[in-house]
Amino acid sequence: MKHTFAPVQTNVSLVDVEHDIAAYWEKEHIVEKYLHRNDASDKRFSFLDGPITANNPMGVHHAWGRTYKDLWQRFHTMRGYKGRYQNGFDCQGLWVEVEVEKELGVRNKKDIENLVEGDKRASIAKFVELCKERVKKFSGIQTEQSKRLGYFMDWDHSYYTMSDENNYMIWHFLKTCFDKGWIYKGKDSVPWCPRCETAISQHEMLTEDYKELTHETVFLKLPITTKGWEHTSLVIWTTTPWTIPANVAVGVNVSYTYAVWEHPETKDRIVILSKDADGNVPMRHLKNTDVPVDAYIFGADHTYKFVKEFSGKDLVGLTYEGPFDAFPRVQEAKAENPKTFHTVVDGSDIVVSEEGTGLLHVAPGAGKEDFDLGKKEHLPIISVISDDASYLSGMDEFSAKNAKKHPELIIDTLKSKGDRFLLKTMQYTHRYPACWRCKTELVWKVAEEWYIAMDVEEKTPNVKGPKTLREQMKNTAKMINWHPSFGLDRELDWLSNMHDWLISKKNRYWGLALPIYECPSCGHFEIIGSKEELQKRAVHGWERFEGHTPHKPFIDEVVIACEKCGQEVHRINDVGNVWLDAGIVPFSTMVDPKTKKLSYTTDKTYWKEWFPVNFITESFPGQFKNWFYSMIAMSTVLEKRNPFETVLGYASVVGEDGRPMHKSWGNAIEFNEGAEKIGADVMRWMFIREDPEQNVLFGYKKADETRRKFHLMLWNTYNFFVTYARVDGFSPGASFVPSHMLDQWILSRLHSVIKTVTVSLSAYDVKTAAGSLEAFVADFSQWYVRRSRDRVGATVEHGDDKTQCYETLYTTLVTLCTLLAPCMPYMTDHMYQNLTKKLSVHLADWPEADETLIHKDLEEQMVLVREIVERILSKRKEVKIGIRQPLHQCTINNAQSLISPALVQLIKDETNIKSINVVLGEGEMEVVLDTTLTEELRDEGKARETVRAIQLLRKEKGCTIDGSISVTLPKELETLPEALLAYIKKETLATSFVWGNSLEISTGTN
Ligand SMILES: [Zn+2]
Ligand SMILES: [Zn+2]
């Protein structure tokens, strides 16, 4: 017998199938053929990959985005669109530095600068080289892992954000910002990591980096020095006692009422908040009860006596003395601005009644809000800590001691001064920000940093529309299709509230060399916009730089002359914010394959073919502030338009237990482990079937369920088809018009699904597509194949119906393979190759729906049929009559519509009932079962039970599905009518019957 199809493994290992297919792809160059199949097409699908940080191996959570990225590129490729298939790696930045530091076992920048003993330049060169090597190593690992996921990309041409193209393209961007008048150097109080010794930009501060911490907080007394206020102190509260030496003022809210309280014995007087703007006494939570603010500050059973009240307004202008006024650093600040030093100022914008004493400790050197208030009130700034949070000189015994590591320094000193300054301390638990890389608690410190201004009008002439970057970016954000749609609001919210973009990073090594050249003698600064411009401007050092990438330390060999005063100027020491690196990729990654040059800065032809990109997809937590933000900013500056048309954001992957994946909690899964345990196809489907807006629960239990309910169900239909097609010697290819109701139905369903999947994937709605595919596979397996078992196999005569059934099964399976190929590239290719003998499903075209095959009314009727069947089967269960016992009759009352005779036949066959009456009517559908059993019905039931029992024995004995057997029947069946015995014979492929004590079978050979 000629077999068209290779036999199918029943207990398939999908992971083994994946390894076989991966080897096949390699051998047959399938990826290459896929990448180039649409080379001649004039349709484009421009996809841009958000670069993955090449710093560690992938986790399963990376597979979510990569599955989406692959899915939509494959979908468009199968539909004839040409793509670029370019993967990206994010390379530069603190994250890599921190890992290299760990590898080297170095702890701070002194160690890094002494890697080559005594040679700072060589040390930095070595460190930067190690960072590059780490990126190369992990980009290689991630590439292999992505291939294992079945992700088809042009892996030999990934982009790297450390490339010259990327770095110089950012220079061009910064120069453009400079020309618009948007780059400035500013002094600001910035969040700062004392371990990394660098500023943490607002973009980098994610909510997950806040930790629940308990600090010893201080209620500090500040004795008033204004006449008439003798023996009276203002009381402030601070959670960061190390900032007390930086105090320059006390803020009050002028709409609040304040009260003076007096201690009965010491006569010591204290000023605190009394009533808020509405005249209510603010309450505080203390030891599980709510107490008024005075009880909170003095203790619940305090003896302080109320003296009088003042409006906040009356306090403005008072002066006071602080505990560290003798420090030279504090004296200097006083001299700088004696009028405002240690005064009470109007801080109504930031003084709240919900916490503290209603009097705000203002330290512009150590807090962002303080800094802004200080600017407004012309307050001096006292800087107290250095880059690693050590106290600066001019602070007596504190100098050189570390403020963060030794918070007790301040508190002990205050205690040593008795009750003059310290009212009390209190343990307080709050959420406090930590460095996103090294988890060190952040501090705030004043630093000179470089910014892109959000609210300065651009100075380029004839600007149309809004003139500030903030407003221009909002316009750009509105040009984008956001999925989910709340994305636009989130982005606009961020754009409305964000500060100027902090683009510099101090004291770091591995990053963009910010091309800012600031003259040490006249203070003039300028920005160099390209490598060529730098060469032109170089007065010396070019030869020592040439041949190197534009990184530290070699880029800093080049010295230019100040265009104002002629003085020699070096590049500033800072590197760039990493989001510059990723934000520029819509421009920097489009290298013209013909000229090998960056298209945007040469002739733009190639770039215009692919910009703006059609589609990006990334996990949205964080990216509104980061990648989406930086791309919008850079594209707005360079082109005043959107860099991408559509963005699909998705949520986060968490463990099966609903908790974030964490190594120490045992619910994190490494990518390789996951792929080898559950297979890439199952992993991909687990992501595809979910709603992108919701977090995905991921784990092995869910994986197994997905595999059983979807992949194995599909596999079993494939197995069914191939097994019987081999027995019957079926070869596909005959064109036919389906005449059987079941064939018409499943083909109608199939073409409806083609439509649904095509429409939803075009609209980036993956959940609808996945849902319709899952429902289809279930219909196909649980109804079509189930009801078609009697139409094929050795017991059935050859004929049109059999052929049509096979053709239907075949068409459905092949079409399903193409529809599912973008989702499950391995399994579908395995099946497709065996079914079609073609090279690969990934070179196939996307199926098109044939409207003439779609019969909506038939699909709807079948839904009703299946509901009726379900009701009858549950009724059978209720009365405990098994499915193999035939029944005479059943009536369906209140059916919504009439059912064609062919469909009624399906109900009869499935429920084993001789006659079905369908009665139309309103109201709840009702099933009335006639349970009368005649002798005849009982005999028929016995015959069916016997067939079933023999089939089981055949299976146990490993008998082939077309092999004949001889059967020993138990004597009690001798009374069965001849016709039923013939039925048993036919259904079981029995050649002979003998009578014995129990049921036995023997195969032809023994
Ligand atoms: Zn850090
Ligand atoms: Zn100058």
Mean pLDDT in residue range 204-230: 89
- Rounded to the nearest whole angstrom, what is the distance from the C-alpha of residue 196 to the centroid of ligand 1? 4
- Rounded to the nearest whole angstrom, what is the distance from the C-alpha of residue 96 to the centroid of ligand 1? 12
Q: Check whether 350 has a pLDDT greater than 60.
A: yes
Per residue in 104-147, pLDDT (tens digit) is: 999 888 899 999 999 999 999 999 999 999 999 999 999 999 99
Report which residue type is found at 18: E
- Rounded to the nearest whole angstrom, what is the distance from the C-alpha of residue 119 to the centroid of ligand 2? 30
Identify the band that residue 1006 occupies on the pLDDT scale cut at 50, 70 and 90: very low
Ligand nearest to the CA of 109: 1
Alpha carbon of 760 to those of 447, 753, 819, 856, 865: distances in Å?
Answer: 50, 10, 12, 19, 28
Structure tokens at 416: 């040593």
Per residue in 395-423, pLDDT (tens digit) is: 999 999 999 888 889 999 999 998 999 99
Given CA atoms 909, 913, 917, 918 in this order, what sign does their dihedral have? negative
Q: How many residues does the chain have?
A: 1006
**SS3 call for 163:** coil
Which pLDDT belongs to residue 792? 95
- Rounded to the nearest whole angstrom, what is the distance from the C-alpha of residue 193 to the centroid of ligand 1? 5
Q: Which residue has the tokens 């044939």?
A: 850
Half-sphere exposure of 365 (CA within 13 A, CB side): 21
Per residue in 956-980, pLDDT (tens digit) is: 988 888 888 999 999 999 999 999 9
Q: 83, 120 in Cβ contact below 8 A? A: no
Ligand nearest to the CA of 568: 2
- Rounded to the nearest whole angstrom, what is the distance from the C-alpha of residue 199 to the centroid of ligand 1? 9
Proportion of the chain above pLDDT 90, given as a percent = 85
Structure tokens at 513: 């060399």
Region of poorest pLDDT, from 114-128, 186-200, 304-318, 507-521: 186-200
Ligand nearest to the CA of 507: 1
Interhelix angle for 712-728 vs 825-836, to 10°? 10
**SS3 call for 667:** coil
Alpha-helical (H) ranges within 482-541 are 486-497, 531-537
Mean pLDDT in residue range 971-998: 92
Per residue in 677-708, pLDDT (tens digit) is: 999 999 999 999 999 999 999 999 999 999 99
Ligand nearest to the CA of 439: 1
Which pLDDT belongs to residue 937? 95
Per residue in 420-451, pLDDT (tens digit) is: 999 999 999 999 999 888 889 999 998 899 99
- Rounded to the nearest whole angstrom, what is the distance from the C-alpha of residue 541 to the centroid of ligand 2? 19
**Helix and strand tally (H, E) in the chain?**
33, 36
Which pLDDT belongs to residue 555? 98
- Rounded to the nearest whole angstrom, what is the distance from the C-alpha of residue 525 to the centroid of ligand 2? 8
Per residue in 583-616, pLDDT (tens digit) is: 999 999 999 999 999 999 999 999 999 999 999 9
- Proportion of the chain in helix, strand, coil states, percent, rounded to 5: 45, 20, 35
What burial letters (b/e) apply to 827-860, b meaning 16+ CB within 10 Å? bbbbbbbbbbeebbbbbbebbebeeebbbeebbe
DSSP secondary structure letter of residue 753: H
- Rounded to the nearest whole angstrom, what is the distance from the C-alpha of residue 532 to the centroid of ligand 2? 22
Alpha-carbon distance of 130 to 227, in angstroms, equals 65
Alpha carbon of 133 to those of 86, 91, 92, 99: distances in Å?
Answer: 21, 10, 12, 12
Of 992 and 685, the one with more pLDDT = 685
Per residue in 504-549, pLDDT (tens digit) is: 999 999 999 999 999 999 999 999 999 999 999 999 999 999 999 9
Which pLDDT belongs to residue 10? 86
Of 788 and 336, the one with more pLDDT = 788
Alpha-carbon distance of 684 to 689, in angstroms, equals 9
Q: 357, 332 in Cβ contact below 8 A? A: no
Strands 249-252 and 343-346: parallel
Ligand nearest to the CA of 443: 1
Which pLDDT belongs to residue 3? 53
Identify the band that residue 1005 occupies on the pLDDT scale cut at 50, 70 and 90: low
- Rounded to the nearest whole angstrom, what is the distance from the C-alpha of residue 535 to the centroid of ligand 2? 19
Alpha carbon of 44 to those of 39, 83, 557, 609, 611: distances in Å?
Answer: 10, 6, 44, 8, 11
Instruction: Give which of 7, 536, 523, 447 is closest to 200, Cα–Cα.
Output: 447
- Rounded to the nearest whole angstrom, what is the distance from the C-alpha of residue 567 to the centroid of ligand 2? 5
- Rounded to the nearest whole angstrom, what is the distance from the C-alpha of residue 94 to the centroid of ligand 1? 8
Alpha-carbon distance of 515 to 293, in angstroms, equals 53
- Rounded to the nearest whole angstrom, what is the distance from the C-alpha of residue 729 to the centroid of ligand 2? 89
- Rounded to the nearest whole angstrom, what is the distance from the C-alpha of residue 198 to the centroid of ligand 2? 27
Q: Check whether 1004 has a pLDDT greater than 70.
A: no
Ligand nearest to the CA of 521: 2
**SS3 call for 160:** strand
Identify the band that residue 652 occupies on the pLDDT scale cut at 50, 70 and 90: very high
Per residue in 234-282, pLDDT (tens digit) is: 999 999 999 999 999 999 999 999 999 999 999 999 999 999 999 999 9
- Rounded to the nearest whole angstrom, what is the distance from the C-alpha of residue 438 to the centroid of ligand 1? 4
Q: What is the mean pLDDT of the chain?
A: 94
- Rounded to the nearest whole angstrom, what is the distance from the C-alpha of residue 205 to the centroid of ligand 1? 12
pTM equals 0.88
